[in-house]
Amino acid sequence: MKKALFAAATGLMLAATPMQAQETATAPAAPTMQDDLDCAIFLSYVLGTMEEAQATEEEKTGVMVGMIYFIGRYEGAGGADIEGAMLGRFETFEESDIERLRMPCAARMESMGQRLISAGNAITQVEKRRAKTGQ
């Protein structure tokens, strides 16, 4: 189960195209602090299975970046004591909860990744324009 979850999660998070993400799940329109905490827990769980699944450093980094993203969102929205919140919430989880989080969390990471790519492309265009005009 852990290997299957790891493979599915990292495959979706690291290799998904926008079309694949749309086919598998959509990111919630207005995720809550609880959604952010749940995704942080999901990715923490996945990260914990990565040694056993012989993950690459790139895969580990991708999952860690996602976990940090969701922790940042949770704390930025006013959440405190991330360790206590994660442990308290995880104690109520069942295996089906981890599986249930796979798709929405992957879709949210894909959405975030696409926004970062768009921002990077826009910055590149500004740099090119400046290079042409000498600014």
Place of tokens 């926008």: 18
How does pLDDT run across 81-111, given as a tens digit for each residue? 999 999 999 999 998 999 999 999 999 999 9
Question: Of 13-22, 68-77, 91-100, 107-116, which range is least confident?
Answer: 13-22
User: What's the pLDDT at 135?
Assistant: 74
23 pLDDT higher than 90: no
- At residue 116's C-alpha, the angle toward residues 115 and 119, to 5°, is 85
Report CA torsion sign: 80, 84, 87, 90: negative
Contacts of 113 (CB under 8 A, 6+ apart): none
Distance of CA 131 to the CA centre of its chain: 35
Q: What does the alpha-carbon distance between residue 79 and residue 6 come to, in Å, rounded to a whole number?
A: 27
